[in-house]
Amino acid sequence: GAVVSQHPSWVICKSGTSVKIECRSLDFQATTMFWYRQFPKQSLMLMATSNEGSKATYEQGVEKDKFLINHASLTLSTLTVTSAHPEDSSFYICSATWAGTQYFGPGTRLLVL
Amino acid sequence: AQSVSQHNHHVILSEAASLELGCNYSYGGTVNLFWYVQYPGQHLQLLLKYFSGDPLVKGIKGFEAEFIKSKFSFNLRKPSVQWSDTAEYFCAVNYGGATNKLIFGTGTLLAVQP
């Protein structure tokens, strides 16, 4: 139980394009999901809290207009990286909360050329 | 500010050695504590968690952790490591509130030599 999936697992795009990443809770409903970035050999950095049916809450320093989050249902949250640039290349991880515990997706590796 | 520190960035052990990874958090009242593991090429998996009750928590794969409130610590232990325990280990703390937001430590990379 408590399985979280992400799609795609990796994506390569050109600078200036937008990329959408999906996060799904497969066997439970999650009113709250989280989006993280993980840089090589570093810990997870929380980007934003995704709340079903309401606006996401962004951490300090994260541009909400660049990283658009939509949590339209209890099992799906999406992160759209708009006008991606090479510095946005990273490993993006989502998690979904169930019974007070976060369960993590496998991550999406984004490479912006 | 709320923070979590893991003292060891890298640990190298031989198989069958005992393991203890340190985790300390800054004061913040009631906390929920977690250890996650990330095996090479895989996603974060929950090892164990503490919400309340017995401060000695047992998790999967023979791991355990002890919550010592007076020391603000939640150290991870395993009496005898295996090569398959090679992974990165993250301590994480939820400082309460409605969002279940986690603060992560910087991680400890464990390498077990066969």
Q: Which residues share a beta bridge with B21?
A: B76
Question: Among B49, B99, B105, whose Cβ lies nearest the Cβ of A49?
Answer: B99
Paired tokens of B5: 């520190």
- Beta strands (DSSP E) in B1-114 are 4-5, 10-14, 19-21, 24-25, 32-38, 45-50, 56-58, 64-68, 73-78, 87-94, 102-104, 108-113
pLDDT tens by residue, A28-46: 999 899 999 998 777 889 9
How far B17 CA sits from the closest chain A CA (Å)? 25
Partner residues linked to B80 by β-bridges: none
Note the pLDDT tens digit of each residue in B2-18. Answer: 899 998 899 999 999 99
Give the mean pLDDT of B52-60: 95
Q: Closest Cα of chain B to A52: distance in Å?
A: 12
Amino acid B22 reads: G
Q: Can you give the three-state secondary structure of A35-97, one letter per residue? A: EEEECCCCCEEEEEEEECCCCCEECCCCCCCCEEEEEEECCEEEEEECCCCHHHCEEEEEEEE
**B17-40 mean pLDDT:** 92
Q: Which of A93, A103, A105 sits opposite B46 (nearest CB)?
A: A103
Alpha-carbon distance B104 to nearest alpha carbon in chain A (angstroms): 7
Q: What is the pLDDT of residue B42?
A: 87
Strand partners, A101: A98
pLDDT of residue B2: 84
Residue B97 — very low, low, confident or very high, per pLDDT cuts 50/70/90? low
What residues 73-112 of chain B have any CB closer than 8 A to a CB of chain A? 90, 92, 94, 99-102, 104-107
pLDDT at B30: 86
Region for residue B62 given its phi and psi (left: phi exceeds 0; alpha: psi -120 to 50; beta: otherwise): left
Report the alpha-carbon distance of residue A81 to residue B9 in Å, rounded: 31
Q: What's the rounded mean pLDDT across residues B57-64?
A: 96
Q: For residue range A66-112, what is the model confidence (pLDDT) as tens digits? A: 999 999 899 999 999 999 999 999 999 999 998 889 999 999 999 99
Contacts of A97 in chain B (CB under 8 A): 100
pLDDT of residue B58: 97
